[in-house]
Amino acid sequence: MITSFIIAGTIYLGILIFLARKTRVKEKTTSNYLLAGGNLGMLLGLFTTAATIFSAFTVIGMPDFFRIHGIGSWIFLAVADAMMVYLLIRVGIKIRLKARASDYNGMSGLLAKAYGHKFVGLIALIGVVIFLVPYISVQIKGVSTFLGAAFPEALPHWGWKTLIVAVMIIYSEVGGLRAIMYNDTLQGIVLFVVIWVIGLNCISEFGSVSGMFERVQAINADLLSVPGPNGLFTTQFYIISAVSIAILPFTQPQISTRIIIMKSHDALRRMAIGLGVFAVLVILPTMFMGMYGAILYADLPRDEFIGHVLLYDQAPAIAALGLIGLIAAAISTSDSQIFALGTELRSLLTIDDKKALVITRIFIVVFGVAALIFSILSIEHLVSLALTSFSGTALLAPLILMGILSEKKPGLLIPICTILSLLVFVLSLSEVIPGKFGLVDIRMILFSFLTIITGIEILRLKLQ
């Protein structure tokens, strides 16, 4: 497999260098470097958005989640993604229109203008930094786990992580957003092909889908219904995850930027529908991989299970391609996120464009290093970490949606309540305050609180 990996790796690296050189702009400006000229077509938009959403967390995290918690994982991600598509069309078009009319440089800057206070933009920036850095670390951690399983003697986990972050930062710094989006497209195609080949291989082990589920039922029937063998999939869990995932396009800047820079509403509409289909088709084979693991590798630790399902049980060429697909997935998602954090910072800087870009590029490195440190220190499960990130940024939704969609200038009630909610959520994650009050999850309480506050603010603005 090493030979196949070296060949595939060299080709992939060659394509990366080619794309970075081809898309490199000599005279970098916020528009051409951070926003790729603001002219994104349907196909590139679809793949770059899909690759930003589905990556190492999907390829490594989801099979393991299916293996441990069962088929309820399908509802948690696929149905929530399908909900997202509807909201993307209904709300995304309005957001794109408003943002483009406001000289968009980034969501934080847009919010600072909408609320008339720079500190509101700063809240959005701090919120995404706090919750995107763990998400980036999910990707880095995921792919280093996989590389560690493939080449146990080559490098320690932290060595793989450092290497990935270095490639990611260099690529982003050189090529800008357009290079990232081309890499996303390449990654999306590779990921889609590889995940289906592996998924179908998993089914063929049991003869058919029906045969596979029968075997799972014989071993552990609880895996085939909710709440799953560990009782994870409660209605409350589903509500929290659906809210957190369905509003991702508005709360995570790497996705909202892509919506706003779409060439036209028509391109956005077609991209959204394509994204829904892509989501379902990408998550489905991860279920086959998880069920395969539940039958054959139920008691193995995650890393060993991943090693088997993606590497050792596959033909060498597929395993090598899978490895490259996964590296590409992790790099393309993480660099999009790090880049988005840079863009958010840029949107708050009111200095000369050239100077602002220099500061932004320095901070892209800083954000990358922060994610690297977090990925080394974190021990949480990939999917749990991703969900924490989704829930954290979801707390910003009322602030963002009110700021962009309100016809009248909103007051400071929502920004202040958002700060409080972020603080409470961070304290609960740090276990300073409980994560649950009775049976009610703290996220449920915070979502409800912010919904009520938003209702009050809408009423106040109507009565004005």
Partner 1 sequence: MKRHSKGLWLTDTLFVILTISSFTALLIPVGRITPKLMGTPYTVWMGVVFCILYIVLAYFASTLLKEGPNDN
Residues of this chain that interact with partner 1 (CB under 8 A) are 71-72, 74-75, 78-79, 81-83, 85-86, 88-90, 93, 97, 208-211, 213-214, 217, 221-222, 224-227, 233, 235, 238-239, 242, 264-266, 269-270, 272-273, 276-277, 280, 287
What is the pairing mode between strands 440-441 and 436-437? antiparallel
Buried b (16+ CB within 10 A) or exposed e, 374-398: bbeeeeeebbebbbbbbbbbbbbbb
Give the span between the Cα atoms of 358 and 363, in whole angstroms.
Answer: 9
CA-nearest of 367, 428, 372 to 395 is 428
- Closer Cβ to partner 1, 84 or 323, answer by number: 84
Bridge partners (DSSP) of residue 114 are none
Phi, psi of 438 (to 5 degrees): 70, -125
The answer for residues whose C-beta is within 8 angstroms of residue 56's C-beta and 6 or more apart is: 138, 139, 141, 142, 143, 146, 326, 329, 330, 333, 382
Q: Residue 237 Cβ, how far from partner 1 at the closest point, in Å?
A: 10
Residue 108 in contact with residue 343, Cβ under 8 Å?
Answer: no
Beta pairing partners, 436: 441
Q: Compute the distance between CA of residue 130 and CA of residue 439 in angstroms, rounded to an integer.
A: 26
Query: Toward partner 1, which CB reaches closer, 284 or 376?
Result: 284
437: which strand partners? Answer: 440
CB of 41 to partner 1, least distance (A): 14
| Shortest CB 74 distance to partner 1, Å | 5
Nearer to partner 1, 9 or 229 (CB): 229
- Nearer to partner 1 by C-beta: 32 or 236? 236
- For 464, the enclosing helix (H) or strand (E) is none
Lookup: tokens for 5 = 């990996």
**Residue closer to partner 1, measured from CB, 187 or 241:** 241
Shortest Cβ 375–partner 1 spacing (Å)? 31
Name 174's Cβ contacts closer than 8 Å, sequence gap at least 6: 20, 24
Q: How far is the CB of 122 from partner 1 (least distance, A)?
A: 31
Q: How far is the CB of 276 from partner 1 (least distance, A)?
A: 4
Judged by CB, which is closer to partner 1: 239, or 420? 239
Least separation in angstroms between residue 331's CB and partner 1 is 28
Least distance between partner 1 and beta carbon 152 (Å): 35
Question: Which residue, 22 or 94, has its beta carbon nearer to partner 1?
Answer: 94
DSSP label at 349? -
Q: Closer to partner 1 by CB, 107 or 240: give it.
A: 240
Exposed / middle / buried, residue 37 (Cβ in 10 Å: 0-12, 13-18, 19+)? middle
Least CB distance from residue 270 to partner 1, whole Å?
8
- Of 222 and 353, nearer to partner 1 (C-beta) is 222
